[in-house]
Amino acid sequence: MLDRLSHALDVFAHHIGSLGWAALAAAAACHLLKMAVRTRAWRNILAAAYPNTTVRWRGIFGAYAAGAAVNAVIPARSGDALKLYLARRQIAGSTYPTLVATLVVETLVDVVLSTALLLWALQLRVLPGLDALPRLRSIDWSWVGRNPHLALAVALAALVLATALALWARPHARKLAAQLRAGGAILRQPTLYLRRVVAWQLADWALRLATIYWLLRGFGLAATAHNVLLVQVTQSLSTILPLTPAGIGTEQGLLVYVFSGKASASKVLSFSVGMKVALMTVNLVLGFGAIALMLRTIRWRSVLAEPEARVTDG
């Protein structure tokens, strides 16, 4: 994996002189705006869950940015724990079950649109079939087929963890159910949900597609609507099993496959790595800046290890 990543970075470095920097700057701006509108939607979900508490958007934006930065460098969505911790600090009286439920509500539009795009891509037969996955060596989740015993062990560990959580939650089921219902409070107000969540998330999707458009232009690839949607499909698939930081490997392999015959493999490889580098750079600068401001330190792991979160009204 490290050898393949090193090769991909070398290819990217070889093409760096031909990049369209103005287009890349436009992509970075669209990415920042995407994060802003995305967090507006989450803030509104949280405000409905805690109607008697002030929920400030800037604090929620900081929590989201911090989580995105950690997810960019550590696999398995590790940044989500930091995101929840920081969000809890911003909302007095908040609980983790309710916050988790708000994140589930936040993903509903994503699930619908991502599924629609995936069905579109499958109908066009532009994605590799299951029989082709083992040959796409850059895909980080192909290890399942090569290591069935390890995959079974992981599945069993997940089952044991789920059972333990169920046993723990049983005595607290009523309280837990109430907290989870609170996280979905905005769904019980359809008009408010459409106006204050769906509208912002549709803007989020428009901006993420605009980001891809400018990235394609910056790397000299055809920035057609078809290609933009294909890149978005690969991004969605690379988050299904995030076993590497930012999904590096999965998306790279899928992009080379779906752009086969449309551009040279080296150019697509340069784009796939360069896109990750560009977006990760924005996430890291913004996210670790947010961590430093909100925690007064960048040693976020030591803060998460504290026995009890310090909730503030900041």
What pLDDT tens digit does each residue of the chain (314 aa) get? 445 555 555 655 555 656 788 999 999 999 999 999 999 999 999 999 999 999 999 999 999 999 888 887 776 567 788 899 899 989 988 999 999 999 999 999 999 999 999 888 888 877 665 445 444 544 444 555 566 677 678 788 888 888 887 776 667 677 778 888 999 999 999 999 999 999 999 999 999 999 999 999 988 888 999 999 989 988 887 766 544 444 455 666 677 777 777 777 777 777 887 888 888 889 999 988 888 888 777 666 666 666 554 444 44
- Say which amino acid occupies 14: H
Structure-block tokens of residue 291: 């961590």
Output the CA angle 109-71-56, nearest 5 degrees.
Answer: 60
CB-CB contact of 242 with 75 (8 Å) = yes
pTM exceeds 0.85, yes or no: no
CA distance 221 to 214: 10
CA distance 126 to 124: 5
Structure-block tokens of residue 245: 């930081």
CB-CB contact of 4 with 138 (8 Å) = yes
Structure-block tokens of residue 62: 């900081």
CA distances, 172 to each of 50, 81, 92, 97, 102 (Å)? 21, 22, 21, 12, 20
